[in-house]
Chains A and B, each alone.
Chain A
Amino acid sequence: MIIFIMDIALFLTGFYALLMKRNLIKKVIGFGIMEYAVNLFLILVGYRKGAEAPILSGKITDVLFVDPLPQALILTSIVIGLGVTALMVALCIRLYQRYGTFDIAEIRRLRG
């Protein structure tokens, strides 16, 4: 149970960076840390003690396997996270070209 609590602490660290930091790149970093915490939580729920990786081979039969369903779902989630982060970084680069800064309060002031 302690490992779930450590995972929630990782999520709250990323959430702190997303809300309280004024630099746009720090917000993107906080979002990335939150995504790591959520992916890790779903794989932690599906773990079984003393089991093997879910790949069959011809020789060994009748072993315990870990849960393959959360692994399949998190596999797509990791690649989607990469696409979303690339889009956020493209937005940050455009904002820097337009306003000259990464500070979000400065951008709001310059927009008028």
Chain B
Amino acid sequence: MNGMSLIVKRVTRYTVGLILLYGLYIVLHGHLTPGGGFAGGVIIALSFIHFVLAFGREEARKSVPERLLFLGESLGAIFFLAIGLLGITAGFFFLNFIAGAGTPFRLFSAGTIPFCNIAIGIKVGTGLFSIFIALSVFKLAREEGKK
């Protein structure tokens, strides 16, 4: 897959960072404003896809290694499960055990909910980006006069 023209490449240098920052903002403020882990994770994946579509597959392969994608997705899932299992010692499953710390309506409140949001954001973002990479590696042959 080739990249696009020079104007698209120059503009993409500035917009990729902004989209990634917006996705991180939505993930981190999931317990105060609408959004949460899923929407923020998809926006993070969209920023990587924007980079690959503008610069082409070969140049993107140098910037984002593939081992990091598989590692990120598995680590996100394991981190989310580990937060849930931490309450097993007291007999609960998915207990929000630091719910009282911090004041409401601030960034540091609501117990384990921000950590769960971060884990889900990493998992969804890297998973959807690796779906896109898998679907765009093979190029299909064109229809050659069939039907």
Q: Which residues of A contact B (CB under 8 A)?
A: 53, 55, 57-58, 75-76, 78-79, 82, 86, 89-90, 93, 96-97, 100-101, 103, 106
Contact = CB atoms under 8 A, between A and B. Distances in A.
Nearest to A87: B131
Contacts of B65: none
B14 interface: no
A79 B124 contact: yes
B38 interface: yes
Interface residues of B, number: 18
A98 B24 CA distance: 41
B140 A55 contact: no
A101 B135 contact: no
Contact of A97 (B36, B104, B138): B138
B34 interface: yes
A101 B146 contact: yes
A58 B105 contact: yes
Contacts of A82: 42, 128
B135 A90 contact: yes
B147 interface: yes
Contacts of A106: 147
A84 B11 CA distance: 33
The winner among A79, A90, A96 for most chain B CB atoms within 10 A is: A79
A96 B140 contact: yes
B147 A101 contact: yes
A34 B63 CA distance: 39
Contacts of B42: 79, 82
A47 to B, nearest CB: 17
B5 interface: no
A97 B38 contact: no
